[in-house]
Amino acid sequence: MGKTFDHITPEMQTFIERQHLFFVATAPSRDGRVNLSPKGYDTFRVLDAERVAYLDLTGSGIETIAHLQDNGRITFMFCAFEGEPVILRLYGTGRAVQPGSDEFEALRPSFGSFGGVRAIVVADVDRTSTSCGWAVPFMDYAGERSKLADDFLVKGEEELDEYRAAKNSESIDGLVGLSGRS
């Protein structure tokens, strides 16, 4: 049976730390598309019982950051693909912390060495819920895909900045994405 809390319990944190994949969902305030993004690598951290963060790596879109700037709403989902069936959702409000800020510099050491970092998404969690996950299939973890990390090694910061300026300045619905350090 599912349970609801206003914080992340120690058991939830342990579950989160074992997952190789999580999903991030956001939506604009008005007309527009809901965004649901799968995230991999070891990029998610529970900062405390009511605060989480993940390392946002350069990608072809900027939906999450644009939606957070619009209204801050964010939901994370974790699914057990092995062991006991569990689905865990974290609900809250988030924001993108840009490189160069004091907060970014304070949070960055919490994550391993990754290239292509465009922001750290920080979220204040005000609701957590679990559900059964009985329909989630068993799946075996075979390793991380290296394509994204390999691309970051090839591209220097200047080329990544150009890419972000071209691909990350606005969302697919025309909301502001990255500005300044693009």
At 180 the pLDDT is: 52
List Cβ neighbours of 143 (8 Å cut-off, separation of 6 or more). none
Per-block mean pLDDT, blocks of 10 residues, the chain (182 long): 93 98 97 96 97 96 97 98 96 97 97 93 98 95 92 87 93 88 43
Q: Do 57 and 148 form a contact (C-beta atoms < 8 A)?
A: yes
At 46 the pLDDT is: 98
What does residue 74 show for φ and ψ, rounded to 5 degrees?
-150, 145
Please identify which residue in the block is written with the tokens 């080329």: 159
At 150 the pLDDT is: 87
Written as six digits, the tokens of 169 are: 């300045």
List Cβ neighbours of 145 (8 Å cut-off, separation of 6 or more). 40
What's the CATH code, domain 4-135+143-167? 2.30.110.10
What's the predicted TM-score (pTM) here?
0.95
